[in-house]
Structure 1
């Protein structure tokens, strides 16, 4: 496929060249048929950070004379077509000094621009790339990575997902968990993309940390509704995370040492600025700290521990101003293990035994990208990806008995395995024929392999056994087109169509999903916004109700289990006040169909039956209102988010067919985040959250059946539940705080960060069980997980 001689057209076979040219010409004529008869020219190029060479995603580019403009795409590329004239171009990006360039436009111009960091806007928190009332898109928030690093962190570990939990419409699961429940959806309904590759399990440490290392991330964007047509495959949200490309100006590094983990990031150019790299690694050392304690408390020879690690790596190369390639990957794994050796005399002889246990799960994601500027108005991107998520539980028993000089050996091995593997390809185009149109179109295909759960038993004294669901292969594809266009000064529309299909065994599903979002600018500068999005999801997550254990199983839609579907409408108001505050108020309603849950008493260990026989299918709904107030500039920055919502589920064979609250239904949810720059060297930050208690099912009676037919309240082993999720835990609230001390050194910079998790020691409910009081009477007992937890970490950059 590749030629031996490297040229700027390295990856362009004649066939692909012709296809791209035809597509470009067709879209050009369709969107701007009079362009050949008017004196219009195109300015295009890349917007970058002048210190690192990192591309700036969503940078504003506009002509100061008439305010016609555009924004840079996910690779920092922009294209602006305007009439022949003297112009003043303004380039701006949050947290950077704006730059003005004057020129006379009488031909197509290639113009790459670098912006420097601003000292005035150094404290920017969460903000959109342009004023909130100007954008067509609603229910979207972009989060600068600087803000993520400034907020308090659980045990000192900066976590992207925990910052997202502070935003309206986004709820956490259990205490400390990094899981996300967006507008009534489940964790499987979030399309989490790392450099364009889906991440199926985004949790470390049983859900208490996410897999994303903030030091390796360039940009984070959350979309909760009004989904553009280019996204598909999930119902509730898109979390689009882009990795850094690597500093092309100089070699540099940064890292930290905390209570539970150490991380290090290195980046820089390779030979020259045309090729750069970044590699970032993180590992916990809980296993090393716990090993001597476990060994001292063990009667035998016992070793046990837990750790996780992850590595992010990326290399990119610029062949010319028209061609760039990227190769990126993520590799992460969690491992819990134990080994116990023992030796004793049983009376019949000497016995030597060994018991090994292992639990591990992890992700691999890799992506190859090729960007090509087909012409100044048309940008193409080809992406090939591979991803894999796996979960393993294993246990091995070995016993050797020496009786009268004769050895008797017994060996047993038990293993449970599940996972999902994807090969995928995407072809995307950005076409900007004029400032009034930004057209995107493309196609993608995914080859899935599902392992829903296999149990294997091997023994030298018993018959081997293998149980579980069959491995399933499936193919998913989609095509889309969307246009963000301006009808007049006040009215902008983003309209698109997403068409997808799914082939599994002998079944084929397809879905036509219209998407539309509008913005109307009122006279007082308030933007009135509305959106409608239809979504289809061809994969399901069979999830347990515990604390985020990785036993969740990814399974496909089949002839018995249909794809999930959702329909969401949203209305809202948005305005920037005094150039300091961005205020948005949104109301939404969402219906979800073909949701699945385990039947009563079923779980992932029931491997005797196929997973399809263990689930119930039902519907869901969620509706509510969200308020977000952001302060983006000044010494004190931050936001306040409030959510009022209702989320319900209904299954024919659960809760007697009656509608019931979803487990993570919360009537009220509040998130407040603030960062205060006390001085050049000291920064304070805090976050406070409040949420209505989770809905839970509690028994109102229990009974036992015997010959006398005895029945007594809370006595016996069979519990009676009047209805599902009819009780509420106590409300949840927590304050986190931190202080950061920054100092510049000869070799670079360093920070000492001291933090408090749950600063006022709130005993928040984790779960409720039945226990006994001092008199021996049964009662419900609330169990809490985390008290106030101090942390300290040392960060450095060189």
Structure 2
């Protein structure tokens, strides 16, 4: 009947030998069958129904950096199913497993990760319903937005909470180095205590209720110099996550929230090294392959020199603050008595260091063996 093909438009571009087969594949999407009699040059259209039921297909593998071979945790894998976009996220080791129900012979999947170029891959499932150990390589890509110019008048108010929070931004890193823990205080319900204090106060909880994880291991001392500096070297960190509201069950998070860090596995393709110098410490990182494409190493260290170089006459400021050998315009008996029982001027020092090490091995089946060290 005419209603069978009403409002259906099919476009086919094919060679003569495969014309009828391509046309049949296009019509099958609309549950229309095609039977061709080449001798009489006749074609019969009929309602075929959903002859092929939906079957479950399992596609699993891992997402890696195309240049270094490093796994990309929490990357996104998406596809269309029943007219809607659905998907999964890769694990902390970059592995994924997607279960898809479809009646088609081909399934397109889109792989994406922040800072990388998205990649679409079409999987042929006509001969197999389970595809394993699929390696997806994403290339890094720089994204730049258009320039935004805002013209207006800024009105200052002493009670403005926005300006108040901006003033507190200077406490993120009192000595110039990175401090990711202190930076979290810009989030709602997250407060930082005094500068010389470890941890955060989340939703009114005490600072000891705040937990930091490094590659799944709890850190009980996550800072240097009583919270002034972060205990983790930013050169070795791949990604991080902060959970203080709805927390995944695998973290078994305390009331004070969980801050988790994942370190890099090292470059599987090339040897690389870097060095950094701040006003408090010197850092160096070395990474490269042990066996090309199969195993890698990463070592990073940082050591302070704040006690070796007096940037701002540190000892003089401390002595002045403790009222040691301070010059007075007048000298009275009271001042002399105070100086007699004054605090003794002793010599002290302060320094810190941290070391990161990681060995990564990967088998041909995609299994991983990781040895991580932090001191």
**Is the aligned partner of 1:73 residue 2:98?**
no
Corresponding position of 2:143: 120
Moved more, 315-324 or 273-282: 315-324
Question: Using the alignment, how far apart are the partners of 1:161 and 1:121 within structure 2?
Answer: 28
Residue among 131, 134, 156 paired with 1:109: 131
Structure with greater proportional helix content: 2
Corresponding position of 1:321: 365
**Is the aligned partner of 1:62 residue 2:78?**
yes
CA displacement, residues 74-124 of structure 1 (integer Å, 9 cap, x when unaligned):
11110111135311110011221111112322321132111112222599x
Corresponding position of 1:43: 59
In 2 relative to 1, CA 91–122 (structure 1 residues): closer, same or farther, beyond 3 Å? farther
The offset of 1:231, in angstroms, is 2.1
Q: How many residues are matched?
A: 267
Q: Is the 8 A contact 1:220 1:240 kept in 2?
A: yes
The offset of 1:224, in angstroms, is 0.6
CA displacement, residues 452-485 of structure 1 (integer Å, 9 cap, x when unaligned):
xxxxxxxxxxxxxxxxxxxxxxxxxxxxxxxxxx
Question: Using the alignment, how far apart are the partners of 1:179 and 1:205 within structure 2?
Answer: 13
Q: Is the 8 A contact 1:315 1:328 kept in 2?
A: yes
The 3-state SS of whatever aligns with 1:163 is helix
Question: Using the alignment, how far apart are the partners of 2:206 and 2:233 within structure 1?
Answer: 23
The 3-state SS of whatever aligns with 1:188 is helix
CA displacement, residues 205-242 of structure 1 (integer Å, 9 cap, x when unaligned):
12211211111111110001222222226222011111
Question: Using the alignment, how far apart are the partners of 1:311 and 1:153 within structure 2?
Answer: 20
TM-score by length of 1: 0.31
In 2 relative to 1, CA 96–167 (structure 1 residues): closer, same or farther, beyond 3 Å? same
Residue among 327, 339, 350 paired with 1:306: 350
The offset of 1:265, in angstroms, is 1.1
Structure with greater proportional strand content: 1
Corresponding position of 1:98: 118
Q: Is the 8 A contact 1:159 1:213 kept in 2?
A: no
Q: Is the 8 A contact 2:178 2:230 kept in 1?
A: no
Residue among 276, 280, 288 paired with 2:308: 288
Q: Is the 8 A contact 2:59 2:98 kept in 1?
A: yes
The offset of 1:40, in angstroms, is 1.8
Larger radius of gyration: 2
The offset of 1:63, in angstroms, is 1.6
The offset of 1:302, in angstroms, is 7.2
Q: Is the 8 A contact 2:73 2:91 kept in 1?
A: yes
CA displacement, residues 50-72 of structure 1 (integer Å, 9 cap, x when unaligned):
22222112111012464232110
**Is the aligned partner of 1:258 residue 2:296?**
no
Corresponding position of 1:723: none
CA displacement, residues 125-161 of structure 1 (integer Å, 9 cap, x when unaligned):
xxxxxxxxxxxxxxxxxxxxxxxxxxx8543312221
In 2 relative to 1, CA 288–76 (structure 1 residues): closer, same or farther, beyond 3 Å? same
Question: Using the alignment, how far apart are the partners of 2:175 and 2:120 within structure 1?
Answer: 44
The offset of 1:260, in angstroms, is 0.9
Corresponding position of 1:277: 297
TM-score by length of 2: 0.64
Corresponding position of 2:215: 195
In 2 relative to 1, CA 44–90 (structure 1 residues): closer, same or farther, beyond 3 Å? same
CA displacement, residues 695-751 of structure 1 (integer Å, 9 cap, x when unaligned):
xxxxxxxxxxxxxxxxxxxxxxxxxxxxxxxxxxxxxxxxxxxxxxxxxxxxxxxxx
Question: Using the alignment, how far apart are the partners of 1:167 and 1:122 within structure 2?
Answer: 25
Q: Is the 8 A contact 1:189 1:237 kept in 2?
A: yes
The offset of 1:319, in angstroms, is 2.2
Q: Is the 8 A contact 1:53 1:247 kept in 2?
A: yes
Where does structure 1 lack aligned partners over 5 or more consecutive residues? 1-36, 124-151, 332-798
The 3-state SS of whatever aligns with 2:208 is helix
Question: Using the alignment, how far apart are the partners of 2:74 and 2:177 within structure 1?
Answer: 28
Residue among 181, 185, 188 paired with 1:161: 181
**Cα RMSD over matched residues?**
3.1
**Is the aligned partner of 1:215 residue 2:216?**
no
Q: Is the 8 A contact 1:170 1:183 kept in 2?
A: yes
Q: Is the 8 A contact 1:283 1:308 kept in 2?
A: yes
The 3-state SS of whatever aligns with 2:371 is strand
The offset of 1:194, in angstroms, is 0.6
Question: Using the alignment, how far apart are the partners of 1:97 and 1:83 within structure 2?
Answer: 27
Question: Using the alignment, how far apart are the partners of 1:176 and 1:165 within structure 2?
Answer: 15
